Structure 1
Amino acid sequence: MRIFAMFLVTFWLAVPLQAIADIESLLSDGELTVNASLDQRGLLVPGQRTQLILEIATSSWFSGGTRIRIPEVPGLVILQTEQFATNASESRSGSTWVIQRWTLDLYPQRAGNFTIPPISLSIMVNAGEQGNVRGDTLSAPLEFFVAMPSALEEADFWVAAPAFSVRQSLNKDTSQLEPGDAFERRIEFQADDLLAMMLPEVGTERQAGLAAYPAPPVLENSRNRGQATSSRVQTISYVAQKPGNYLLPNEDFFWWDTGSEELRVLTLPAVEVRITGTAAVNTQGAPPALSRTQLLGLALAIAVISLVLWLLKRYRPWRLLPYLIQPLRAGWGQLQDLRKPALAERLNPDSNAGD
């Protein structure tokens, strides 16, 4: 037994053991790298998009999907808008490395310093003879600064984007309307590198004599070859109620041009509305108008009821009631007789037997 044990020890020392591979060992051996960086160019202001680039590279190949756990940072919106990574390959020290690049969109909501904590990554790569290896690792933390230019200090709301536009259209001439007429105002905002929910909206001021009915806005985000474009379409229907001159006031929208780093102002022109004629009759609370079929049915019902009343008055059928009541009374009497017992309660009612 001792000889057998010595043989096992000798064999164990003679045969070199291959360390079990995991993600951390691949990182320490330089066979796997994880880098995080910010794609920031120039000044960064609140509301402006910047991007966080996660680059994962392996000397073998990826054998499974990569999972990213996005942390929460107060005052910072972090979105993974791309569902797939950008794949590439490059030569390092004579070997071919496979690279995954993941992009996260960052939208700071305030000015000041930000710190993005380490991002957890679940990675699966091939480790040669040891097969596929899956594990978790962390990226390095990142810090960046968001400035507040003096031009934006007095603004309540602005759009920070390389491109921004606003335009409107009307489906009818508003200079010659009459009470009861309706028209539609369509306002469309478009911007690059911005989410549709971050685009501004147009208010609907109440005006007596001109009713406004806004529809829910239509938001759309699209991407084409890495270029993000968003739009917000707002439709408002107006109904003319009273004669007069009305004005849908102009509105100014502040735009921070991230390309030139300048503040611009886009103006939505005012719309003049002129209503002529007499005021529309207010039919609120009045009964709804009847259709032709309903009117014919109502006329037929009135005719039938009138005919029945005339027949009742002409022939007076109630005069036959005594003749109908007499047989009923006779029948009722017969029913009462049937309910009487066949024998008397006592066999000799006049005797005192049994008393």
Structure 2
Amino acid sequence: MRALPPAFSRLVAPLPGPLLLAAAMLLPAPLRAQPALELRVVPDQPGPLWFGQHVGLTAILRTRVRFGGSPSFPDPAMTGHAVVLPNGSTTPGTEREGGVSYVLLQHRYDLFPLQTGSLVFPALKLVAPVIGDDGGSITAQAESQPLTFEVRLPPGVRDLHRLVTSPEASLTSEVQGDPARVPVGEALTRRITLRVSDTTSMVLPAVDWQAPSGMRAYPDPPRLEDSSERGVLRAQRIDSAAFVPQRPGRFVLPGSQLQWFNPDSGALTELAIAPLVIEAVAVPVAPHSRPWWRTAPAMLVLLALILGLLGWWAVRHGKLPRRLMPAETPEAAAFAALRRACHANAARPAMAALLRWAALILPPPHLPTLPELARLSRSPALAAEAARLSDLCFAAPAQAPGRAWNGAGLAAAAVKARRRLRRRSPGRREAALPSLNPAGSPTPPPRLILPGWHR
């Protein structure tokens, strides 16, 4: 019981007990004993409700004084089949009743019944701190009354699991790919979207994907989306699946049907997605295609040819490491010395290199002389250049004062002569020097003819 004001207590203290009881009976209702905390649940509509219809419930907690803290509203423990979602917000307020002002806290619940017949929303129990007139804080408890709803099934409903109860609903489909031509083994994706209002995505029916024989279905997890627009709930469910044909032919993917009941108008409507016809075609085989093991020999031959060309180029241009370069023969070394002397226009070194090269390139029993070299190589140019170089090297200084020599002509003639001699004796890379004392041979030792050989 609420304590009376001190002045009023001093006024009634001298009165006898029966008189005090009679006076209390005559007091107005606001002054009588009232609980410090009250809780009640008010539905948006009392009923009856349709199966799956959304109904909002407002839990109102009030006190005549002040709240000492923010109470926590409980989650109701439903005994029947229903979805209850807390709105997630608690709003304060005030109201006046019988001349008394109250402080309010309001909490919202969204109820979606999923069974027919009687559905009971249980009583809620709540404990909250309140502040009295004397400024002290006390803990008060309140409990609401249970609510009973009658849930009905809309007339004409065939399957409860394929029913949508909402003021607005739409069912659409999309296809990713060309149904008229789907190669075997490739996927075609089908997506079905259900959009409704004043409900939650948790109660929306799923799509039953069915694949015909010769085709496989790979469903994706559904996408459930909920939102609120100016206090109106919006829900969306997106189901998608990939269909892969296993053989060529025509396939028919089943459609999808729903029943939509509008609780505002009482109309029952069919929402349907038409079946989808798919033409699966065989994957064309690439012409002249062969297994890799049949083309391997050709690849090996090509690789060997490429490596051979690279090796020839490296040897030709001296790009190989020194340890991989072929060994240089005495004849090749002498010819290289001849070319270097000719490029340097050094007459005497060129003459010495020419004589050495002639002795190495001519095979026995030919004499290692320059006339024999010119004759065997059929090179008049070599004979002329060698004669000119001999005059320059061995003539008296008075006969050839200050004469300059250009070795380009001799180098070119020597290259041609060497090429002809090597073609004449293929496989010969080095002319061995004849024996100094040949046994059983009347042939005298070879002689090198130097000055005057051409005269």
Give the TM-score taking structure 1 as reference length: 0.64
CA 1:275/1:154 → structure 2, altered by over 3 Å: closer, same or farther?
closer
Structure 1 position 131 matched with structure 2 position 139: no
- SS of the residue aligned with 1:174? coil
Match of 2:127 in 1: 122
Q: For 1:27 and 1:215, locate their aligned partners in 2 and report how far apart those are by CA, in whole Å.
A: 64
Q: For 1:41 and 1:142, locate their aligned partners in 2 and report how far apart those are by CA, in whole Å.
A: 9
Residue 273 of structure 2, aligned match among 268, 271, 283: 268
Write out per-residue CA displacement over residues 319-354 of structure 1, whole angstroms, 9 at most, x where no aligned residue: xxxxxxxxxxxxxxxxxxxxxxxxxxxxxxxxxxxx
Give the TM-score taking structure 2 as reference length: 0.51
Q: For 1:264 and 1:38, locate their aligned partners in 2 and report how far apart those are by CA, in whole Å.
A: 28
Residue 66 of structure 1, aligned match among 57, 64, 71: 71
Match of 1:102 in 2: 107
After TM superposition, list the pairs within 5 Å mapping 1:327-346 onto structure 2: none
Match of 1:171 in 2: 176
Contact 2:85 2:111 in 1 (8 A): no
Q: Given residue 79 of structure 1, which amino acid in structure 2 is its aligned partner?
A: V
Structure 1 position 247 matched with structure 2 position 270: no
Aligned residues: 262
Write out per-residue CA displacement over residues 63-118 of structure 1, whole angstroms, 9 at most, x where no aligned residue: 31222334433324352422221222345566654322212222222211233332
- SS of the residue aligned with 2:51? coil
Q: Over alpha carbons, which structure has the higher Rg?
A: 2
Q: For 2:232 and 2:37, locate their aligned partners in 1 and report how far apart those are by CA, in whole Å.
A: 30
Q: Which has the higher strand share?
A: 1
State the 1:41 CA deviation: 6.5
- SS of the residue aligned with 1:81? strand
Match of 1:199 in 2: 204
Write out per-residue CA displacement over residues 34-88 of structure 1, whole angstroms, 9 at most, x where no aligned residue: 3322212765122222122211223333231222334433324352422221222
**Higher deviation after alignment, 28-37 or 213-222:** 28-37
Match of 1:141 in 2: 146
Contact 1:46 1:148 in 2 (8 A): yes
Q: For 1:241 and 1:97, locate their aligned partners in 2 and report how far apart those are by CA, in whole Å.
A: 72
After TM superposition, list the pairs within 5 Å mapping 1:1-355 onto structure 2: 28-29=33-34, 32-40=37-45, 43-77=48-82, 79-92=84-97, 97-152=102-157, 157-277=162-282
Q: Which has the higher contact order (CA 8 A, sep 6+)?
A: 1
Q: Which has the higher helix share?
A: 2
State the 1:133 CA deviation: 2.5
Match of 1:352 in 2: none
State the 1:177 CA deviation: 2.1
Write out per-residue CA displacement over residues 299-320 of structure 1, whole angstroms, 9 at most, x where no aligned residue: 9xxxxxxxxxxxxxxxxxxxxx
State the 1:152 CA deviation: 2.4
- SS of the residue aligned with 1:212? strand
Q: For 2:142 and 2:93, locate their aligned partners in 1 and report how far apart those are by CA, in whole Å.
A: 21
CA 1:225/1:85 → structure 2, altered by over 3 Å: closer, same or farther?
farther
Q: Given residue 270 of structure 1, which amino acid in structure 2 is its aligned partner?
A: P
Write out per-residue CA displacement over residues 190-233 of structure 1, whole angstroms, 9 at most, x where no aligned residue: 22232322111222223233221111111222234432222211
Contact 2:87 2:110 in 1 (8 A): no
Q: For 2:142 and 2:185, locate their aligned partners in 1 and report how far apart those are by CA, in whole Å.
A: 67
State the 1:27 CA deviation: 11
Q: Given residue 60 of structure 2, which amino acid in structure 1 is its aligned partner?
A: E
Query: Structure 1: where are the runs of 5+ without partners?
Result: 1-12, 17-25, 281-295, 300-355
Q: Given residue 233 of structure 1, which amino acid in structure 2 is its aligned partner?
A: I
